[in-house]
Structures are given as C-alpha cells and as structure tokens.
C-alpha cells in the first residue's frame, strides 16, 4: 500500500514558498542598518508592514496570494550650514565665509624668554 503524505497547511513560514519570511528578513536588515546609522534620529520609529493579499478564484476553491513588505525608515538628519553670497568676475558666487571680512594673519608670535634671577 502506498503511504500518502498529508498536505502541509499554509503558514507564514511557507506561504509563497517561504518568500514572505525572506522579504521580511531583507527589510529587517535594512531597518537595523537605519537604526545604526548615526545620520538618522535615534528616537524615530521604524516599521515593517507585511501584507498578504488573497484574490479568490471565481469558484472559491482557492485564491492567488500576493505577499508584499513595506518598510518605513527614519530619514537622514538634515545638516545646517551657512553660505555667503559674493560677486566674482560679475557672477554671483557662494562662499563658506563672509568674503567682505578681512582674514586675520595667523602668525605665531615669537616667545619672549625671561630669565629668573
């Protein structure tokens, strides 16, 4: 007599041939990288949403399944700076310092040697 194998019930671990877990794991790595990124907020929440859509057959004997994962990461923090606008050869140009101010000479003064008596 042939031994029949029981069909395996669908679960999260085997739905879509295991791809649900695979794409979740892929997004989990991305979330962990985002958490460790020093350019993102440590307080911002991250999320992973696993979505399974079922489209029933017309006779309702089964359904097509579509598995998708969406993740929400913390955005990269903005960096503030200052720029000064000047004119160079008739064209507006941005500078990282105010070119109207004179630069101070950064010469190191000679040290005076004082002898004790």
Q: How many residues does the chain have?
A: 117
Supply φ then ψ for residue 16, to 5 degrees: 55, 45
Q: How many CB atoms lie within 10 A of CB 20?
A: 21
* Average model confidence (pLDDT) across the chain: 88
29 in helix, strand or coil? helix
Q: Which tens digit of pLDDT belongs to each residue from 50-106?
A: 999 999 999 999 999 999 999 999 999 988 888 888 888 888 988 887 777 766 667
Confidence at residue 93, expressed as pLDDT on a 0 to 100 scale: 87
Q: Which tens digit of pLDDT belongs to each residue from 13-23?
A: 999 899 999 99
- Cα separation, 71 vs 30, in Å, equals 9
Confidence at residue 104, expressed as pLDDT on a 0 to 100 scale: 66
- For the record, the structure tokens of 56 come out as 């029933």
């Amino acid at each position: 007599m042939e031994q029949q194998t029981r069909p395996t019930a669908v679960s999260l671990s085997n739905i879509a041939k295991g791809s649900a877990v695979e794409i979740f794991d892929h997004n989990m790595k991305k979330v962990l990288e985002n958490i460790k990124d020093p350019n993102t907020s440590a307080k911002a929440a991250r999320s992973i949403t696993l979505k399974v859509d079922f489209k029933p057959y017309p006779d309702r004997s089964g359904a097509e399944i579509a598995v998708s994962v969406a993740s929400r990461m913390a955005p990269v923090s903005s960096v503030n700076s200052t720029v000064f606008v000047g004119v160079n050869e008739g064209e507006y140009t941005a500078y990282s310092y105010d070119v109207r101010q004179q630069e101070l000479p950064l010469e190191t003064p000679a040290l005076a040697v004082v002898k004790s008596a």
